[in-house]
Structure 1
Amino acid sequence: MKTAIKLALIYLAMQILGALAVGPFTMIYAYVKYGTVERASEFALAPTLLAGFVFMLIYLWQKGYLTGDKRLYSPVSVSYLSWSAMMGISMIYLIDFLMSNLTFLPDWLSDTFDLLQSGWLGIICVAILGPILEELLFRGAITKVLLKKYNPVVAILISGLIFGIFHMNPAQVVGATLIGFILAWIYYKTHSLIPCVLIHIMNNSLSVYLALKFPDVEYSSELIGEKAYLTGLVIAFLLFILSWRMMNTYKLSNTTTEI
């Protein structure tokens, strides 16, 4: 538990280090180029985030979390990836429904995400690079450490909670925790990060796309009629159960016991 929490805190420290190392230079450059503090802040946000990613990646590599276990990057079958994608899509829909009923939770990072999504580097960080690094950290390092110390159920629950709480944004904590449970379970079943990365990128990329395409829309229910939305909800629930059952029983070379 201590190691898992320590890794999450180190990631936070690396983000701060990235801001200190890169932020001032990008701010000065952007201010000279654009002439306003607001525009300079927009320009500096993505590079500082990327720097934090790089620092954390280097740390994980040096500490051996990214090497030594070939299963971490082992391919899974096309069939398993297909079921993973189906689970990811259905899970996104179900969590959207849940969060539409938790609108009282404040969104502290709304403006930050808007700034990140205002440029291509920020979009790439949120949609692709962030998910890859977070899977390396939260599943490849933290979940792996927890599985060595606790039984699978406890390890998965702790991993998901750490993942959710780490987002430090009330509007994201619930959804991120649920996604964290699923991704930790998939890692436990396969010992591979590939399906985890796939689902995480799908989730973030879809969120970015919808935010850019429909900036005034908060939830999917606002895009389609109530009847169609409820029908989609039932279908998503059934697909989630089906994909979970198929993924739980599918035979992989790295498969462990069912859970």
Structure 2
Amino acid sequence: MEWKNPWNKKQLICLLFIAFAVVPIVIEYVLKNALDLLLGEGMPSAMLMGIAMAAAFILSLYYIALKPDRLSWREIGISRFAPAYWIQIAGWTFFLIVMTSAIMETLTWFGVGYENTKTKTITADLSWLNIAMSFASACIVSPIYEEMFYRGFLYRWFRAEFGVVWALVASSALFMIAHIPTYNTLAVNFATGLVFAWTYEKTQSIIPAVLIHSLFNAILLFFTILLT
């Protein structure tokens, strides 16, 4: 795949508007409040909100970026990658765990704790059902739609227009901003975004990034539960 841009600025603006205006207002605020009232503030509510976000991102990509020009899902990186890259998937996952530990330990020196709204939701009720929902949301649902949008679409758009360096920075910065208000993880979000984007750059497939993202989240989630 050549780094050509199959999308115009109007499509970029529409998808950014959905990601940073429609989703936060309609799903993360209105729907979340409705689900919290109906189900209580916990993993069932968070899981349903995550599924709604995944549907919003994937359907938006399909109807705005793919269907108008009859493009396939390969255009956003859903394609095979070289089997030899499995070693690098393991290496990048290990690197991210070590890097995240170093960043979070550094932040504790400045009085910033590990806890945020996401960890509190996960650890509030450690039933087997809630743990299963936590893993499904963090390790399956989120990695798939986030990699499709932030790497498969955004990184490719910026890569074709501005080159690899600006694409790495821009897509990772937007990925970081999307995780507000979990402010204590923003540095980690930016750094992981760089790794996920670089993986896409090297393989021209988002699948390795999805796998690293999923394994990384699974390991962090495991230790969050273990240390509770």
| TM-score, scaled to structure 2 | 0.77
Residue of structure 2 equivalent to 1:94: 99
Matched, 1:110 2:116: yes
Instruction: Measure the CA separation in 1 of the matches of 2:45 and 2:18.
Output: 22
CA contact (8 A) 1:135 1:197 kept: yes
Matched, 1:18 2:27: yes
Q: Which runs of 5+ in 1 are unaligned?
A: 31-39, 216-259
Moved more, 78-87 or 59-68: 59-68
CA contact (8 A) 2:107 2:113 kept: no
Residues 122-133 of structure 1 correspond to what in structure 2 (within 5 A)? 122-133=134-145
Residues 125-164 of structure 1 correspond to what in structure 2 (within 5 A)? 125-164=137-176
- C-alpha distance 80-105 of structure 1, shift in aligned 2 (>3 A): farther
C-alpha displacement at 1:172, in angstroms? 0.9
CA contact (8 A) 2:15 2:61 kept: no
C-alpha displacement at 1:106, in angstroms? 4.2
Q: Percent identity between the aligned chains?
A: 20
C-alpha displacement at 1:51, in angstroms? 1.3
C-alpha displacement at 1:65, in angstroms? 4.7
- C-alpha distance 163-111 of structure 1, shift in aligned 2 (>3 A): closer
Q: Deviations along 1:27-70, whole A, 9 cap, x unmatched?
A: 33x3xxxxxxxxx1224232123212212211111113594353
- C-alpha distance 214-8 of structure 1, shift in aligned 2 (>3 A): farther
Q: Which runs of 5+ in 2 are unaligned?
A: 1-8
Instruction: Measure the CA separation in 2 of the matches of 1:113 and 1:62.
Output: 34
Residues 44-83 of structure 1 correspond to what in structure 2 (within 5 A)? 44-65=45-66, 67-68=71-72, 70=74, 72-83=77-88
C-alpha displacement at 1:81, in angstroms? 1.9
Residue of structure 2 equivalent to 1:179: 192
Secondary structure of 2:65's counterpart equals coil
One-letter identity of the residue aligned with 2:88: W
Paired positions, count: 205
One-letter identity of the residue aligned with 2:120: D
Superposed CA RMSD? 2.7
| TM-score, scaled to structure 1 | 0.69
